[in-house]
A and B are shown apart, each in its own frame.
Chain A
Amino acid sequence: MNALLAATPVPRDLPLPLPVPEWLLVFCLVVFFLVHILFVNLMVGGSVLVVVLEWLGLKNKRWDALAHEIAQTITVNKSLAVVMGIGPLLCINLLYTMQWYSANALTGHAWLLIVPLVITAFLLTYLHKYTWDSWTTGGRKTLHQLTGIAAALLFLFIPLIFLANVNLMLIPSEWEKVKGFFSALSIGNVLPRYLHFMAASLAMTGLFLAGWLGRQGSDFSHLDGFTRPELRRFFYTICARVTLAQFVLGPLLLFTLPSAGITTQVYVIIFSGASLGLLTLWVLFGELKRPDATIGSRYWLIVLLFSLVVLGMGSGRHVYREAALAAHKTQIKERTERYYTALAEFNKAHAAMPQVAEQSPEQLFMNCAACHAPNVKLVGPPLTEIAQIYAGNPDGIVAWAKAPGKKRPELPQMPPMIHLGEANLRKIAELMLIKGAAAAAK
């Protein structure tokens, strides 16, 4: 048992209270995070689709045109993904201060790399979008495709950094095993989380594009190879098939979670979400069977159902996180309280102690001793020398110490000591002269 106890670090929390009620932070975390991850999904899923469709476009130009249309949405979604990420970041920093920052530090290099990697991915996305009409043939087209692939690969990698952190923060008992970012990937269930996230990205992108490109007022002037119902059907199909796959990937994620946070409540929430997901899928497949004239008429119902599923899964995820960290949070709270009780007692006793009215000259001299030794030159001249220069003139030392100049080119300039007070400086000066004379006499 001792080995087990030793394996979980229990740090002290920051002593400041949360700035807002905890329930409000939880609400903000769950809701803002889902908004953030929706745009992340559209950014990641969109960039993967663009790569595939642009490649298909080599044989049939209409896919190239479609890829171009999707590329226009990525640059908008990526900006929203970033800006909407700040709110949940603030919330998770506040709610899980001790676990979140620790996970960040343990994967520190990768965590810091997020900044240049995302900047590069974004610049590549812009390059890909704005060179679409100019890099069209031969080697230039290949270069264009490679740009898209490079951006997509970065978008495929960066989520791993976040997932590693989200995963690691839940398992403090494993922190001791972590030696850098890559080792953090082998702890917990990063891979199932990643697969679930990627599938969600494709499904959400499919749903979004079915609505965005399939909307009544959308501009089809660049998409003459397609009809509106055709596009709706195409993106609905992507959404439906990938969501079907989630019924394998979802349980894979659930059953590979470390068991510490699994409670009946978590199962109830997740399985309710999953049954709602089944209903959603049924409506979605029903929609796919509709004729061209009416396909898309249930779009907002499907969006609503998906939102409820995602909200359910997001809440389940939070309930799991709370349960997984309940013991750790309690331990931290106890340790923090113990520490601050002891600290308060110490400070009370300390304040009750009679104030040392005056420091003795010897104590005061400690301020000088690190630089001025009796007869060797340390940082400043030795006391023997000082005693020689200021023999019978302690006030000279006081005047110098209040506003030192620079006399010796080989030594650093002395800092002013005026904060010790004139009376104390005078005491020190007198002691210095005695000490210096004594050392010289030896």
Chain B
Amino acid sequence: MDFPSFYMDHLAGGRLIIGLIASLHVLINHPLAVGAYPLLTWMEWWAHKNNRPDIDRLAYRITFIVFIVTTTVGALTGVGIWLSTSLFAPFAIGSLLRVFFWGWFAEWLVFISEVVLIMWWFLTWKKADTPEKKKKHIRIGVALSIMSWLTMALIVAVLGFMMKPGVWNQTRAFIDAMTNPLYAPQLGFRTFFALMTAAVFIWFTAFFFTKKSSSGDDRPWRLRRWIVYRMSHVVLISMLGVFLFGTWYWNCVPETMKANSSVALLTQEFMSWHGQFQSLLGWTVATFVVIALGGLSDIFTVPRWALLIPSVMGIWMLGHFERAREFMRKPWVIGEYMYSNGVHKDELAYLQSEGILKHATYVKHREVTEANKLECGQDVFMLACSRCHSTTGLNSVLDKFTAMYGADKPWDSVGMTLFIKGMHQTRTFMPPFPGNDREAEALVAYIQQLRAKPQTLHGAQTEGISFSPLPKGPAMTAETQPQR
């Protein structure tokens, strides 16, 4: 990669941060936006139709929470995905942006309308004091629900498109995303998942706003019963959707996997994920069923804390679901085009023959010598390994070799070099080593040195950059010299 390397040694090079930000974004977006807007709009409509100001008030109070969370943490974690990917994988996000520009641009336009609509809806709620105004207000809620679902539908298309190897460079058509066999089940799964978790969220928050008053007034209690009864229905129905679409997804994935990758080990690892997903889906659905049936029968059998169980299960399942993308993408960051360390497929042989350091920019040396071996090894690590591995932190190279060669024995440098050059054959989620033999040896020397003296490696954000002059090329002319 030809950018200064942002790198955090503790966190597997730092890419964990992208995962954390993105997961938080999904966990807010699904239950609190995509799922909650239609349910809250429905509550507002019901209250208007049946003249129930208490329900309108409850919907407003829950919308307040939704409004605060989505316009702060929700919005900023979305932006955070851009900010963090541009640090950890500028080569990937930069390339993806050049390919999927229109998809993201369209998503941006829908996102603008979503933000405008949520503010319009929430901030004018109390001003809608006549039936005519109320009708118009409910329509804003409907529009918001549609727009928020549409942002998800668009971004899922972009994600699906990113994963489908080898298609865009032939057709480059956005419509291919929609024909991705995983698109429809994934979108359906996410939609019903959002509704299901949103119903539990509304149910849970309603408990705070329907506390029993001391004066023996049973209206809060009746309101609570009303909301729990309805939300139980929503949970049950959307759970059926989650189950059906989840099963559809679960059945589609193996074929897609077979088409995408015939590689045995990847399949082996994937199948274990696949099995886990099935049991997680089953257990999650089961807890939601128990809770929802409890809600239908008698609300006192479902204490507030019990609602946290299906929520946690749901979060866990969604996290597991998102991990499928990782399995399917490795060793690529853009299928059949760019490896996860930023090396292009078509430059691999060139770099293996010429050396990766020779054509890099932010390196100390361009040729490995005995004297500079360790420094070269560190630069090779930064270029070829640091996007996924750390030196001494999470997912460290030391851990990997310890698992292979043992902690108490000396490691054979020749064996390690052989392994690095052929690891993509046996560890098929690994990209091929993108350097020449001398560089592989330098990398091994660096790892051996790390083992003897573990040391934190610092990224460009603290150490700055160092670079050596360009190798021979056409002489620079006066016009192209940097002007100072």
Nearest opposing residue in chain B for A87, CB measure? B108
Residues of B within 8 A of A370 (CB): 415-416, 418-419, 422-423, 426
Are B98 and A82 neighbours in the complex by a CB distance under 8 Å? no
Are A105 and B108 neighbours in the complex by a CB distance under 8 Å? no
Are B94 and A97 neighbours in the complex by a CB distance under 8 Å? yes
Are A111 and B83 neighbours in the complex by a CB distance under 8 Å? yes
B41-49, B50-58, B273-281, B347-355 - the one binding chain A:
B347-355
Residues of B within 8 A of A76 (CB): 119, 123
Are B115 and A112 neighbours in the complex by a CB distance under 8 Å? no
- The proximity string for B residues 432-463 relative to A, scoring 1 for CB distances below 8 Å and 0 otherwise, is 00000000000000000000000000011111
Residues of B within 8 A of A373 (CB): 412, 415
- Given the interface contacts A9-B362, A101-B94, does A89 sit within 8 Å of B77 by beta carbon? no
A10-18, A245-253, A432-440 - the one binding chain B:
A10-18
Residue among A9, A10, A417 making CB contact with B426, cutoff 8 Å: A417
Are A86 and B265 neighbours in the complex by a CB distance under 8 Å? no
A90 to B17 CA separation, bound complex (whole angstroms): 21
B178-186, B239-247, B470-478 - the one binding chain A:
B470-478
Are B461 and A105 neighbours in the complex by a CB distance under 8 Å? yes
A334 to B101 CA separation, bound complex (whole angstroms): 25
- The proximity string for B residues 4-44 relative to A, scoring 1 for CB distances below 8 Å and 0 otherwise, is 11100000000001000100000000000000000000000
Are B353 and A346 neighbours in the complex by a CB distance under 8 Å? yes
Within 8 A of A (CB), among B259-279: 262-265, 268
B66 CB to nearest A CB, Å: 13
Instruction: Tell me if B150 counts as interface (CB < 8 A to partner A).
Output: no
Nearest opposing residue in chain B for A177, CB measure? B464
- The proximity string for B residues 218-239 relative to A, scoring 1 for CB distances below 8 Å and 0 otherwise, is 0000000000000000000000
Residues of A within 8 A of B5 (CB): 105
Are B418 and A369 neighbours in the complex by a CB distance under 8 Å? yes
Nearest opposing residue in chain B for A17, CB measure? B98
B117 CB to nearest A CB, Å: 11
Instruction: Tell me if A108 counts as interface (CB < 8 A to partner B).
Output: yes
A113 CB to nearest B CB, Å: 10
Are B83 and A5 neighbours in the complex by a CB distance under 8 Å? no
Are B476 and A86 neighbours in the complex by a CB distance under 8 Å? no
Residue among B21, B91, B104, B461 making CB contact with A90, cutoff 8 Å: B104
Residues of A within 8 A of B479 (CB): 327, 330
Residues of A within 8 A of B101 (CB): 19-20, 90, 94
A106 to B458 CA separation, bound complex (whole angstroms): 12
- Given the interface contacts A14-B98, A20-B101, A108-B461, does A89 sit within 8 Å of B82 by beta carbon? yes
Residues of A within 8 A of B349 (CB): 346-347, 350
A122 to B71 CA separation, bound complex (whole angstroms): 8
Are B461 and A5 neighbours in the complex by a CB distance under 8 Å? no
Instruction: Tell me if B2 counts as interface (CB < 8 A to partner A).
Output: yes
Nearest opposing residue in chain B for A173, CB measure? B482
A326 CB to nearest B CB, Å: 9
- Given the interface contacts A339-B359, A416-B268, does A106 sit within 8 Å of B404 by beta carbon? no
B330 CB to nearest A CB, Å: 14
Instruction: Tell me if A441 counts as interface (CB < 8 A to partner B).
Output: no
A23 to B361 CA separation, bound complex (whole angstroms): 29
- Given the interface contacts A19-B99, A112-B87, A175-B465, does A119 sit within 8 Å of B73 by beta carbon? yes
Within 8 A of B (CB), among A10-48: 10-12, 14-20
A367 to B419 CA separation, bound complex (whole angstroms): 8
B351 CB to nearest A CB, Å: 9
Within 8 A of A (CB), among B387-420: 403-405, 412, 415-416, 418-419
Within 8 A of B (CB), among A335-383: 335, 338-339, 342-343, 346-347, 350, 366-367, 369-371, 373, 378-379
Are A5 and B482 neighbours in the complex by a CB distance under 8 Å? yes
Residues of B within 8 A of A335 (CB): 470, 473
Are B79 and A82 neighbours in the complex by a CB distance under 8 Å? yes
Residues of B within 8 A of A93 (CB): 86, 93-94, 97
Nearest opposing residue in chain A for B98, CB measure? A16
Most A CB contacts (10 A, CB to CB) among B76, B80, B83 go to B76
Are A10 and B470 neighbours in the complex by a CB distance under 8 Å? yes
Instruction: Tell me if A179 counts as interface (CB < 8 A to partner B).
Output: yes
Are B98 and A94 neighbours in the complex by a CB distance under 8 Å? yes
Within 8 A of A (CB), among B95-126: 95, 97-99, 101-102, 104-105, 108, 111-112, 115-116, 119, 123
- The proximity string for A residues 415-429 relative to B, scoring 1 for CB distances below 8 Å and 0 otherwise, is 111111000000000
Instruction: Tell me if B307 counts as interface (CB < 8 A to partner A).
Output: no
Are B265 and A415 neighbours in the complex by a CB distance under 8 Å? yes
Are A101 and B86 neighbours in the complex by a CB distance under 8 Å? yes
A97 to B264 CA separation, bound complex (whole angstroms): 37
Are A85 and B90 neighbours in the complex by a CB distance under 8 Å? no
- Given the interface contacts A85-B79, A93-B86, A105-B3, does A416 sit within 8 Å of B265 by beta carbon? yes
Are A176 and B467 neighbours in the complex by a CB distance under 8 Å? yes
A162 CB to nearest B CB, Å: 11
Are B76 and A82 neighbours in the complex by a CB distance under 8 Å? yes
A350 to B348 CA separation, bound complex (whole angstroms): 12
Instruction: Tell me if B63 counts as interface (CB < 8 A to partner A).
Output: no
Are B415 and A378 neighbours in the complex by a CB distance under 8 Å? yes
Are A86 and B98 neighbours in the complex by a CB distance under 8 Å? no
Most B CB contacts (10 A, CB to CB) among A102, A114, A417 go to A102
Are A105 and B4 neighbours in the complex by a CB distance under 8 Å? yes
Are A115 and B77 neighbours in the complex by a CB distance under 8 Å? yes
Instruction: Tell me if A274 counts as interface (CB < 8 A to partner B).
Output: no
Nearest opposing residue in chain B for A410, CB measure? B406
Most B CB contacts (10 A, CB to CB) among A89, A108, A177, A350 go to A108
Given contacts A123-B72, A180-B461, 16 further A-B contacts (CB under 8 A): A4-B484, A9-B362, A10-B361, A17-B98, A83-B115, A89-B82, A93-B93, A101-B90, A112-B84, A115-B83, A342-B350, A370-B415, A415-B265, A415-B268, A419-B428, A420-B425
Q: Which 8 A-B pairs have the closest CB atoms?
A: A108-B461, A370-B419, A101-B90, A19-B101, A416-B264, A115-B80, A11-B2, A108-B6
Task: Give 10 CB contacts A-B under 8 Å.
Answer: A93-B97, A109-B462, A111-B83, A115-B21, A173-B484, A327-B481, A343-B346, A373-B412, A417-B426, A419-B428
